[in-house]
Amino acid sequence: MSIVRETDTGWQSGMAKSITFIVTKDCQLACKYCYLVGKNVKERMSWETAKAFIDYVLSREDEFREESVVWDFIGGEPFLEIELIDKICDYLKLRMFELNHHWFNSYRFSFSTNGINYHTPDVQAFIKKNREHLSIGITIDGTEKKHDLNRVWKQAKADENGIIHPSERGSYKDVVRNIPLWLEQFPNAGTKVTISSADIPYITESVLHLYSLGIHQVNINVVFEDVWQEGDDLRFEEQLMTLADEIIEHGYYRDYACSFFSEHIGKPMDPERDNQNWCGAGKMLAVDAAGNLYPCTRFAQYSLRSKKALIIGNIRDGINYNLLRPFLTLDRTTQSPQKCLDCEVASGCAWCQGENYDAAQTSTIYERSTAICLMHKARVRANNYYWNKLFRKLELEGRREEYENNKRDVKPEIC
Amino acid sequence: MMQYLVILLDDTSVSYCHADNPYSVRRLIGLNDLRAGILFAMKQNLMIQFVYPDYELPQEYLDLIDTIDHHDIKPWYAGASPADVTVFDKSVLAGVSPVNQGVAVLRLTKAELFENVEAIGKILLKMQRLNIVVTDIETITDEELKSYAAVLEGLASVLKDEYLAGRMPQLNLLTDRMMLDRPNHCNAGVENITLAPNGRYYLCPAFYYSNPDDSIDPQDIRNQQLLRLDHAPLCRHCDAYQCRRCIWLNRKTTLEVNTPSREQCIVAHTEREASRQLMAAIREQAVFMPEVEIKELNYNDPFEVRKEW
């Protein structure tokens, strides 16, 4: 098969509307760090719901004025519903054409998959059919040991409520076999790695392992949830410094990127000039199997531990725009505690609006969770070490200017 | 800074604000709870506002109430004793003729308001101050907004004549914006809290009416900063100073206490514009508050221009 066009997850960033179909809440895996606490085998989207949602969105061009659209498919594992997805995408293309919609020829289909079904005929046929408008990210966490620490198969049977639970069987081998095919089709694709407390000792070897698989872009982040143990920040810093040494010593910085290291992070932020929200919740739109609409998938009930789902409408009655006003007026300073506003290394410290909502003392999206505070500071220290060491090396080799002209620019990944 | 404690003396105490009181069965606050509330107010240096039901309280309650400086908010009914604030409902429109009152609250639905402009104008003339509370304002449509503007225009005409005659009755919807040079928000949870008949504290009576489990710890209000103006991204830029910025309506309509609905904003801006026009009309015939300027705006909802801030 021919190489699929460049897949840039930041495609039309800022100008594109992200619209997500939660096609299923089922998954082959039951990853231990997964924020989807309510995954189940029951809630699968019907064609009727998907079609009604598409008709709702495409008939309201005046409400959805963004230049472009990313039709995102998420689960659970979206490729479990490849037949439905194929039908959805065909219908989207047909209707955008028939309506002469401004999104026709300015759209992408985007997937985050566990990669297990990537090689199957149905998925491959879908890729072939839609290759000009496709972004696919496969999640692989690193070495077999690191990957299998969290990314395990679910138990064969769900519980009496349909909720799925983890088994002991890791999924590394089932995913890694599809990486060569994926990279052949999407050579510039990146993977997304998630770090929880137990993963810290494996960060360095995992990133290097992903590089060795041919993955040039490793997007990596620590979980936003409050899972961190005392001393994790120091262990994290140590791992990142080891990783920095490896990347610099072996010259990986020339052709590979790891999002942990960025020149843009670790600076103070101006309360007025740098006051934008980090998260895109509210600018996005998600729909689930019941036809309920959300400002982001993270506000669906299966994503929430302790709060009620934040539903902003449904496919029959449409969006209640009053419920979007808090999202669209959110700024950094209003939701941040004073320690964040005073922080000397604030830039690049991320948050997830859904996790903020879930962790808040009251039912609000305006209380920023600071569970990652120490981890961010550790990252900044290691990041400073990385750049100081790299730049000194380049200076001594007389190649600083050459590097600056050719470097891969890794910007903080904004949700 | 906390300044007031509102004490609902009975489950049927009169509602003086947006939320309807759903309780119809009498239940007096326990004497011990009332005593504890008064003690709390004394120690926190809070002025108490007692809210009464439409019947005479037992003597032991009256005696206890009389142990502290306070304000009384009472429903109007035949034989009611005088109050600092008297609350009327639509029955006052049906020919009941209240004697000259100090401060009055008139609670009406949109429909009742739209149909009774003339009667309201007459009531206004009998009061030093009238606060009109439209109880279903959060459902106002664009079409109804035109009717609302027409009501304000009618009442402004009454006020203009009064002001030019040297009398200055106050109507919250029209004269507050002319008189205020800063917001006059309700500030529930920041400047006042409420003790309900169940002995628990709430941000305001509406939170008790809508969910008795929604109580607060008066010494430790969680996310209290979100109740303050500086944590309200839209309102902190707004100069519709007469708006009460009702946090209960905010939460009801947008799920956030610090964010108003579109309906609240367009109503407040319609009032602001009517105030501006009233001021201009008075100034056509007399010198009137020359130091005050209400600028003309090209929007009705600050949300529309949020990116310009």
The answer to whether A329 contacts chain B (CB < 8 Å) is yes
> What integer pLDDT is reported at residue A4 of this predicted model?
43
Say what the pLDDT of residue B139 is: 97
Percentage of chain A beyond pLDDT 90 is 81
- pLDDT category at A407 given cuts 50, 70, 90 is confident
Average predicted confidence (pLDDT) for chain A:
92
Whether chain B has a CB inside 8 Å of the CB on A275: the answer is: no
Chain B residues with CB under 8 Å of A365 CB are: 256
Residue of B222, B255, B263 with shortest CB distance to A326: B255
Stretch B12-18: mean pLDDT, rounded?
Answer: 97
Residue B60 falls inside a structural domain: yes
Q: B171 in a domain, yes or no?
A: no
Distances (CA, A) of A146 to A30, A170, A186, A195, A198: 15, 10, 24, 10, 9
Rounded to a whole number of angstroms, the distance from the CA of B231 to the nearest CA of chain A is: 5
Distance in angstroms (rounded) separating the CA atoms of residues A27 and A369: 28
Q: Which helix H or strand E contains A246, and what residues bound it? A: helix A232-249
Q: Give residue for tokens 């029955």.
A: B91
Report, as an integer, the average pLDDT of B242-268.
Answer: 98
Is B140 among the domain residues?
Answer: no
Closest CA to A193 of A182, A180, A206, A183: A206
Q: Is residue B69 assigned to a domain? A: yes
| Residues facing residue B216 across a β-bridge | B201
Domain coverage including residue B54: 1-79+191-225
Residue B309 distance to chain A (closest CA, Å): 10
Residues of B within an 8 Å Cβ radius of A: 222-223, 226, 231, 233-234, 253-263, 303, 306
| Record: contact A334-B254, CB cut-off 8 A | no
Beta bridge partners of A216: none
Asked whether residue B255 is domain-assigned, the answer is no
Per-residue DSSP letters for A214-229?
Answer: T--EEEEEE-SSS-PP
Least Cα distance to B198 among B30, B46, B53 occurs for B30
Alpha carbon A229 to its chain's center: 24
Assess A363–B contact: CB distance below 8 Å, yes or no.
yes
| Residue B220 domain-assigned (yes or no) | yes
Residues of A in contact with B253 (CB under 8 A): 322
- Chain A residues touching residue B258 (CB < 8 angstroms): 326, 334, 366
The predicted-structure confidence for B195-228, as pLDDT tens digits, reads as follows: 999 999 999 999 999 999 999 999 999 999 999 9
Write the CATH number of the domain with boundaries A1-143+151-188+280-329.
3.20.20
Domain span(s) for CATH 3.20.20 in chain A = 1-143+151-188+280-329
- Mean pLDDT of the A263-270 span: 94
Interface mutation vs chain B, best among A364, A365, A369, most B CBs within 10 Å = A364
Please state, in angstroms and rounded to a whole number, the distance separating the CA atoms of residues B178 and B165. Answer: 18
CA atoms of B220 and B80, how far apart (whole Å): 37
Q: How many structural domains are present in chain B?
A: 1
How many angstroms separate the CA atoms of A54 and A40, rounded? Answer: 24
Q: What crossing angle do the helices spanning B117-126 and B142-164 adopt, rounded to 10°?
A: 40
Q: What is the ipTM of this complex?
A: 0.94
Q: In this structure, is residue B308 part of a structural domain? A: no
Chain B neighbours among A 330-349 (CB < 8 Å)?
Answer: 330-331, 334
The answer to whether residue B203 is domain-embedded is yes
Rounded to the nearest angstrom, the minimum Cα separation between A319 and chain B is: 12
B6–chain A nearest CA distance, Å: 23
pLDDT for residue A192 is more than 80: yes
Distance from CA of B72 to the nearest CA of A (A): 32
Q: How far apart are CA B191 and CA B200, in angstroms?
A: 18
> pLDDT tens digits for A324-363?
999 999 999 999 999 999 999 999 999 999 999 999 999 9
